[in-house]
Amino acid sequence: MANLDTLSARQVAAGIAAGDFSATEVARAALDAISARDGQTQAFLQVSEELALSAAAATDAARAAGQALAPLAGVPVAFKDNMNLLGTRTTCASRMLEPYESAYTATCVQRMLDAGVTPLGKLNMDEFAFGSTTDSSAFHPTNNPWDVARVPGGSSGGSAAAVAAGEVTIALGSDTGGSIRQPASLCGVVGMKPTYGAVSRYGVVAFGSSLDQVGPMGRRVEDVALAMNALTAGGHDRFDSTSQNCDQDYLAHLDDSIEGRRVGVIPALLQAEGLTPEVRAAMRQAADGLAAAGAVIVEVDLPNMANSIAAYYVLAPCEAFSNLARFDGVRYGYQEPGCATLAEQSSLSRAHGFGAEAKRRQMLGAYLLSSGIYERYYLAAQKVRTLITADYQRAFGQVDVILMPASPTVAWEHGAISDPAALYLADVFTISNNIAGNCGISVPVCLGADSGLPIGAQLQGPAFADAQLLTFARALERSCGMEGSVAPAFAGKGGELR
């Protein structure tokens, strides 16, 4: 008898291929784990039991017929609820889209399905991906599996929590300013933001179109690499003009040595305001671990990184305002009843369909794009974006990757931070990566000496060096020994393969 918690994605797929257990048995074990655990984590918005069992049955039928199985055949996976999947709702955790049934399947989801995964459902998030806690979901907050009184991070908090609680093996999230890496750090899982354009965004509800990127989360770097193989299979997606051909084997060099390779550190970041002592100590531990693996630690500088928050909160709200204008209560989404005119219906539908943070960001975007303001702020933010990108290019001329925190703190209690501006600072170490379009990953390195909660170290790499980034992430994972951890309170509860 085994528990799904203990198995990697490769082990699940290999066990099914060998006949050690069936895909249906795996699907039922995952559904049992969700049933046993999600009452505490509240990671899911919708469990797609029928889709899961149907996909598992198809995998079992293919094996019985002697067909070669796909690389992730039978692996339990769930998707952030801004990704369309036929047979499920896509709500973006908003009342605005509460009844919306997916009309098609997003390319990133389809590629995971093509790789053989068993789709378990849709995961909670901050409304329209606006947030760092998952508390702004219109339906319910998600809890951190390491301490259910604390936030899981956001906006992909449901994805991180589902993986950390052992409810799924892999989850997909989206990252506009740190929304994969920050919750991965707070929940003690691996979370990767690929290079902008590496993964198709077709079928993913847009927040900031020049910043959004879909990426995988798992309990192991290897699981994330396997997911990257699936997400990039087939190369460029003709439905997403920004997507690139990044189809390659991300496992091929995963365990290569990093002997003599160069890792950049930014000493000033370790003195940043708000960085807690235990996170600072974890970064030193991560640097020591990479050095022990043979890497050369080099000091670098990103002089304009300090301006990334200011630039982001001009660029992102402007793009959000543009993207969310389509939700007007006419074509789809929440419709205010009893309105006398179309204008009244649109206005009240938006007023009552969106939550506070969604309205705040759209109003900010509308202001920043208004005449006379646009030139003063939006154009200036684009110039800062150019400077930040140039800083990274210079730094990556000296080093292969850059090491920095993923979050300045461990997970905090629900409601402990109520000031929106203070919450925005939760992404202070991740936003610059989205602005430049580079790749980044958070790897759990330790439990905080004071809190006992997980801390992730972030590695950032140049654009389209995603495979190289995973090599360094695997070396960091080996050196720090948190590979495959499920939050202790959830380990072994449900999910048994009989």
Least confident of 2-6, 268-272, 330-334, 494-498: 330-334
pLDDT digits (tens, 9 = 90+) for 285-338: 999 999 999 999 999 999 999 999 999 999 999 999 999 999 988 877 899 999
Encode burial over 415-426: b for 16+ CB neighbours within 10 A, e otherwise: eebeeeeebbbb
pLDDT digits (tens, 9 = 90+) for 346-404: 899 999 999 999 999 999 999 999 999 999 999 999 999 999 999 999 999 999 999 99
Asked if residue 442 lies in contact with residue 185, where contact means CB atoms within 8 angstroms, the answer is yes
Q: What was the pLDDT predicted at 485?
A: 86
Encode burial over 314-344: b for 16+ CB neighbours within 10 A, e otherwise: bbbbbbbbbbbeebbbeeebbbbeeeeeeee
- Alpha carbon separation from 381 to 9, 376, 442, 462 (Å, rounded): 41, 9, 26, 21
pLDDT digits (tens, 9 = 90+) for 278-292: 999 999 999 999 999
Whose structure tokens read 């589902």? 162
Alpha carbon distance 1, 21 (integer Å) = 10
Pairing state of beta strands 213-218 and 190-193?
Answer: antiparallel
> Tokens representing 254?
């995963």
Categorize the per-residue pLDDT at 1 as very low, low, confident or very high, splitting at 50, 70 and 90.
Answer: low
Is there a domain that residue 206 lies in? yes
Catalytic residue flag (residue 185): no
What is the residue-wise DSSP string for 216-265? EEESSHHHHHHHHHHHHTT-S-TT-TT-----S-TTTTTT---TT-EEEE
Query: Quick one: what percent of the chain has pLDDT higher than 70?
Result: 100
pTM over 0.85: yes
Q: What was the pLDDT predicted at 331?
A: 79
Selecting among 8, 132, 155, 485, the annotated active-site residue is 155
pLDDT digits (tens, 9 = 90+) for 180-196: 999 999 999 999 999 99
pLDDT digits (tens, 9 = 90+) for 91-113: 999 999 999 999 999 999 999 99
Tell me whether the omega of the peptide bond preceding residue 185 falls within 30 degrees of 0, making it cis: no
Whose structure tokens read 């693996």? 293
Categorize the per-residue pLDDT at 448 as very low, low, confident or very high, splitting at 50, 70 and 90.
Answer: very high
Please name every residue paired with 298 in a beta bridge, in sequence order, or none if there are none.
264
Please name every residue paired with 457 in a beta bridge, in sequence order, or none if there are none.
405, 443
Q: What is the CATH number of the domain that holds 285?
A: 3.90.1300.10
Alpha carbon distance 386, 435 (integer Å) = 9
Count: domains in the chain: 1
Is there a domain that residue 58 lies in? yes
Is there a domain that residue 179 lies in? yes
Is there a domain that residue 339 lies in? no
pLDDT digits (tens, 9 = 90+) for 453-494: 999 999 999 999 999 999 999 999 999 988 888 999 999 889
Selecting among 179, 308, 407, 432, the annotated active-site residue is 179
Q: Residue 284: give the domain boundaries.
A: 2-265+279-300+394-497
Task: Tell me the average pLDDT of the chain.
Answer: 96
Is there a domain that residue 367 lies in? no
- The number of CA neighbours under 13 Å toward the Cβ of 31 is 19
> Tokens representing 51?
């889709």
Is there a domain that residue 382 lies in? no
Selecting among 48, 80, 132, 200, the annotated active-site residue is 80
Catalytic residue flag (residue 179): yes
Is there a domain that residue 418 lies in? yes
Alpha carbon distance 482, 492 (integer Å) = 17
Q: What was the pLDDT predicted at 333?
A: 84
> Tokens representing 386?
């150019």
Is there a domain that residue 420 lies in? yes
Q: What was the pLDDT predicted at 330?
A: 84
Catalytic residue flag (residue 241): no
Q: What was the pLDDT predicted at 69?
A: 98
**Does an H or E element contain 433, and which?**
helix 431-436
